[in-house]
């Protein structure tokens, strides 16, 4: 007897579209953090060399002789040292390091906020479309989406500062940076996150196609809204 689980089954076709990178932001986070650590190590190494030079008494630019290093040699080796150049290099590395830390910290802070999709499950057509998109994204292991049903949780619409009826009529997506996308733009946002649908998302962003798609979506959403109200789905 085969025990059934609640996890959706992914077909080979779905796995093919979900196989390439881009679904996990933490891979990029680890890569950037590694580069950040390397920059920090270089900065510390250059600072250590600069301190060694100052302990040895080399503080002015010019040619100098190191008697300890050349004690066992018959010839004298002269070395050129410019401490001002070392200072400038250390400052540049420090500025780069601080800038990287600021950028990465801000980026990770935005990633920690989940993307929220506001939809209306009382509309049968809307619910079928959202269920299909949600199942497809889960098969691709895209789990950083919070699906908010305004029919079950009508108070959630107040967080968008938008009337509840507007959210019931059209799809709303709030990104991790606070950007709100509505209607066809909300679907484009979901398509761009889903492997296998990203080409469709790019296609819908072309100027003429986007205008036509937005016109068709808004008209169809308006008809669905009045149809649901006529049948008293809410």
Q: What is the pLDDT of residues 85-144, one digit of tens each?
A: 555 565 666 677 667 766 666 666 555 578 999 999 999 999 999 999 999 999 999 988
**Domain boundary assignment for the chain:** 25-111, 115-230
What is the pTM (predicted TM-score) of this model? 0.59
DSSP conformation letters of 97-122: HHHHHHHHHHHHHHHTSPEEEEE-TT
CB half-sphere exposure, 227, CA atoms < 13 A: 11
* Model confidence pLDDT, tens digit, residues 163-199: 999 999 999 999 988 899 999 999 999 999 999 999 9
Tell me the C-alpha distance between 121 and 129, whole Å. Answer: 10
Q: Which residue has the higher pLDDT, 57 or 159?
A: 159
Of the ranges 15-19, 63-67, 162-166, which is most confident? 162-166
Q: Which of the four pLDDT bands, split at 50, 70 and 90, describes residue 55?
A: very low
Q: Is pLDDT larger for residue 226 or for residue 57?
A: 226
């Amino acid at each position: 007897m085969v025990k059934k689980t609640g996890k959706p089954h992914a077909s080979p076709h779905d796995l093919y579209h979900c196989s390439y990178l881009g679904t996990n932001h933490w891979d990029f986070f680890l890569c950037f953090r590694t580069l950040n650590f390397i920059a920090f190590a270089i900065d510390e190494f250059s600072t250590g060399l600069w301190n060694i030079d100052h302990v040895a008494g080399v503080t002015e630019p010019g040619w100098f002789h190191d008697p300890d290093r050349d004690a066992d040699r018959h010839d004298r080796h002269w070395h050129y040292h410019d401490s001002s150049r070392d200072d400038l290099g250390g400052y540049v590395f420090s500025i780069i390091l601080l800038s990287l830390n600021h950028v990465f910290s801000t980026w990770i802070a935005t990633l920690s906020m989940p993307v929220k999709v506001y939809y209306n499950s009382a509309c049968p057509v809307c619910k079928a479309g959202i269920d299909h998109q949600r199942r497809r994204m889960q098969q691709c292991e895209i789990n950083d989406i919070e699906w908010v049903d305004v029919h079950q949780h009508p108070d959630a619409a107040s967080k968008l500062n938008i009337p509840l009826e507007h959210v019931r009529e059209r799809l709303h997506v709030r990104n991790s940076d606070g950007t709100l996308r509505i209607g066809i733009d909300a679907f484009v946002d979901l398509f761009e996150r889903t492997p296998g649908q990203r080409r469709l998302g790019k296609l819908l962003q072309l100027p003429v196609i986007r205008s036509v798609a937005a016109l068709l979506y808004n008209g169809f959403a308006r008809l669905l809204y009045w149809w649901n109200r006529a049948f008293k789905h809410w």
